[in-house]
């Protein structure tokens, strides 16, 4: 769903100064608009509604989070208002329910992080007022060793830029890491090498392994050449001999 | 100028440190300075403090500031407006963070390595997008996976985080207990909004 989903994915709204339901509840408690022990759901929703009315932008997820919190508060209130079936008639009423304690506990746990965010904001403001000698840009991409996320991002951006240059019309489904050399199947490589060796034998009559490897001293070339010789020896097309231990290998037509 | 009002000259090591920090574009560590000056790192620290005190006392436009990896010469806060107008701010100084982003950073900084669900549990709100933003700014990084159900990703703050907030190490940040004690209990909403950054 390119159009609708794409639009939804891009849709984002931020409410200034609000970073979650705990943040709002903390503020309400701290500004003494609500008692920490008796959070009034109606009051909280009313204040929040007024707050939202003052802003033209609101995120659906922000409303969802707050409503979830409000719902849990409503549940707490219902529990505290209804008589406890197990409670003794002369028992002292419980001032704060377990759920309320949970909410308050979570708020207490959250509060220092909120304070640390304020502290960090102050540090950043201070830092932003300092200027340093500009560091020379050597153009090389910086990578944090072990940071797979950064590595993947770099790789995909390189692959993407390459694919845009090579095949701009390429779709996402047939994306094949354009730019990387196309792998040649092992069998095909060995076949090619066998034909190459037979041609060479037809021309010169005899060959040595060292002369065959002169073309390219790579591991791939060595493996492919050995496999080709073994296959040709097995099928009786060449004869492979070694006169002395660790000496050169001679190849002649069978 | 009378001899009595003449500024006290810097010590020879402090002058060398000043010159090295002036020419260096990257932080210079205590070990590097100690090697050049043939001093112990503790003595280098004392000389840096002396230099900074000298710059401050005599109203210089420069100051020495700690960074991850060492010290750097920076412009003093008093001249920031003029320097800012003169020079276009660097990319790192353009990083603007929302209140939610700074709060998420705080949770990660104090609990690292930490999973996204642990951050969400503390903040009481989903943090997927915020974490993506922090990753893209290079302020946090993925630091492996937690063993257990689902093997969730673990997040850590980066050197870029320390650089952005002007601290040399995480240990320089006050503890959560200290922050909780200092946290105001009767602030207004407007006060809080003054601290905000827009993303």
The model's pLDDT over B43-61, given as tens digits with 9 standing for 90+, comes to: 999 999 999 999 998 889 9
pLDDT at B199: 34
pLDDT band at A79 (very low <50, low <70, confident <90, very high): low
pLDDT band at B91 (very low <50, low <70, confident <90, very high): very low
Residue of higher predicted confidence among B93 and A88 = B93
The ipTM (two decimal places) reads 0.70
Nearest CA in chain B to A103: B124
Which tokens sit at B191? Answer: 């006060």
- Give strand pairing partners of B62: B75
3-state class of A132 per DSSP? strand
Mean pLDDT of B88-101: 69
A242, containing H or E segment: strand A238-242
Residue of higher predicted confidence among B46 and A85 = B46
Residues A133, B87: contact at Cβ < 8 Å? no
From the list A27, A25, A39, A31, the residue with the least C-alpha distance to A99 is A39
Mean predicted lDDT score pLDDT of chain B: 82
**B56 touching chain A per CB within 8 A:** no
Alpha-carbon gap, residue A20 to B100, rounded angstroms? 8
pLDDT band at A4 (very low <50, low <70, confident <90, very high): very low
pLDDT at A80: 60
Contact call for A116 and B26, based on CB within 8 A: no
**B24 touching chain A per CB within 8 A:** yes
Residue of higher predicted confidence among A245 and A240 = A240
Contact call for A27 and B187, based on CB within 8 A: yes
Contact call for A112 and B197, based on CB within 8 A: no
Nearest CA in chain A to B94: A128
Contact call for A16 and B198, based on CB within 8 A: yes
pLDDT at B108: 95
β-pairing verdict for A249-253 and B62-67 = unpaired
Mean pLDDT of B83-108: 77
Distances (CA, A) of B151 to A196, B48, B68: 52, 46, 31
Contact call for B87 and A131, based on CB within 8 A: yes
Alpha-carbon gap, residue A25 to A11, rounded angstroms? 26
pLDDT at A93: 46
- Scanning the structure block, which residue is given the tokens 């502290």? A119
Alpha-carbon gap, residue A93 to A84, rounded angstroms? 10
Contact call for A131 and B165, based on CB within 8 A: no
In this structure, what DSSP letter does residue B69 have? T
Mean pLDDT of A141-166: 66
Residues A117, B103: contact at Cβ < 8 Å? yes
In this structure, what DSSP letter does residue B73 have? E
pLDDT band at B198 (very low <50, low <70, confident <90, very high): very low
Nearest CA in chain B to A34: B186
- Of A70-74, B114-118, B157-161, B170-174, the range with the lowest mean pLDDT is A70-74
pLDDT band at B78 (very low <50, low <70, confident <90, very high): confident
Nearest 10 degrees: CA dihedral of A21, A23, A25, A30? 180
Residues A245, A231: contact at Cβ < 8 Å? no
pLDDT at A26: 65
3-state class of A251 per DSSP? strand
Which tokens sit at A65? Answer: 């989070």
Instruction: Judge whether residue B178 has pLDDT over 80.
Output: yes
> CA-based angle B19:B20:B24, to the nearest 5?
120
How many residues in chain A?
254
Alpha-carbon gap, residue A199 to A202, rounded angstroms? 5
Sequential DSSP letters for chain A: -HHHHHHHHH-----TT---HHHHHHHHHHTTSS-SSS--HHHHHHHHHHHHHT-S---HHHHHHHHHHHHHHHHHHHHHHSPPTTS-TTSPPPSS-HHHHHHHHHHHHHHHHHHHHHHHHHHHHHHHT--BPPPP---PPP--TT-HHHHHHHHHHHHHHHHHHH-TT--STT---TTSPPPPPHHHHHHHHHHHHHHHHHHHS-EEHHHHGGG---HHHHHHHHHHHHHHHHTTSEEEEESSTTS-EEEEE-
Interface test with B, best of A27, A111, A124, A154 (most B CBs within 10 A): A124
pLDDT at A18: 58
Which tokens sit at B127? Answer: 């943090």
From the list B93, B98, B88, the residue with the least C-alpha distance to B130 is B98
pLDDT at A41: 65
Burial class (CB in 10 A: 0-12, 13-18, 19+), B64: buried
């Amino acid at each position: 769903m390119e159009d609708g989903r794409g639009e939804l994915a891009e849709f984002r709204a931020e409410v200034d100064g609000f970073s979650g339901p705990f943040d709002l509840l903390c503020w309400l408690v701290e500004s003494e608009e609500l008692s920490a022990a008796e959070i009034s759901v109606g009051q909280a929703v009313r204040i929040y509604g007024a707050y939202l009315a003052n802003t033209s932008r609101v995120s659906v997820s922000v409303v969802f989070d707050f409503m979830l919190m409000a719902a849990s508060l409503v549940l707490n209130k219902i529990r505290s208002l209804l008589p406890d079936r197990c409670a003794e008639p002369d028992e002292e009423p419980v001032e704060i329910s377990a759920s309320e304690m949970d909410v308050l506990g979570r708020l207490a746990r959250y509060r220092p992080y909120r304070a640390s965010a304020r502290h960090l904001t102050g540090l950043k403001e201070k830092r932003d007022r300092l200027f340093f000698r500009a560091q020379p840009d050597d153009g090389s991409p910086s990578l944090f060793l072990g940071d797979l996320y950064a590595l993947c991002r770099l790789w995909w951006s390189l692959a993407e830029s390459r694919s845009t240059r090579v095949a701009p019309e390429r779709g996402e489904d047939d994306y094949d890491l354009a730019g990387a050399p196309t792998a040649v199947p092992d069998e095909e490589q060995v076949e090619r090498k066998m034909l190459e060796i037979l041609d060479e034998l037809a021309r010169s009559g005899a060959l040595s392994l060292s002369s065959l490897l002169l073309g390219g001293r790579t591991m791939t070339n060595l493996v492919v050449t050995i496999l080709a010789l073994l296959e040709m020896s097995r099928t009786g097309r060449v004869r492979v001999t070694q006169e002395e231990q660790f000496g050169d290998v001679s190849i002649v037509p069978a | 100028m009378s001899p009595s009002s003449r500024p006290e000259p810097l010590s020879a090591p402090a002058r060398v440190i000043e010159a090295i920090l002036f020419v260096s574009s990257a932080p210079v560590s205590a070990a590097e300075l100690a090697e050049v000056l043939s001093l112990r790192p503790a003595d280098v620290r004392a000389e840096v403090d002396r230099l900074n005190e000298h710059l401050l006392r005599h109203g210089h436009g420069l100051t020495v500031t700690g960074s991850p990896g060492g010290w750097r010469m920076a412009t003093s806060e008093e001249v920031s407006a003029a320097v800012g107008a003169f020079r276009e701010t660097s990319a790192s100084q353009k990083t603007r963070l929302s209140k939610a982003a700074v709060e998420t950073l705080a949770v990660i900084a104090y609990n690292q390595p930490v999973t996204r669900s642990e951050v969400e549990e503390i903040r009481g709100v989903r943090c997927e997008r915020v974490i993506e933003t922090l990753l893209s700014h290079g302020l946090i990084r993925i630091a492996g996976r937690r063993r257990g159900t689902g093997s969730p990703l673990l997040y850590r703050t980066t050197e870029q985080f320390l650089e952005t907030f002007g601290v040399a190490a995480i240990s320089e940040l006050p503890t959560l207990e200290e922050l909780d004690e200092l946290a105001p209990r009767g602030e207004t909403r407007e006060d809080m909004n003054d601290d905000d950054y827009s993303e």
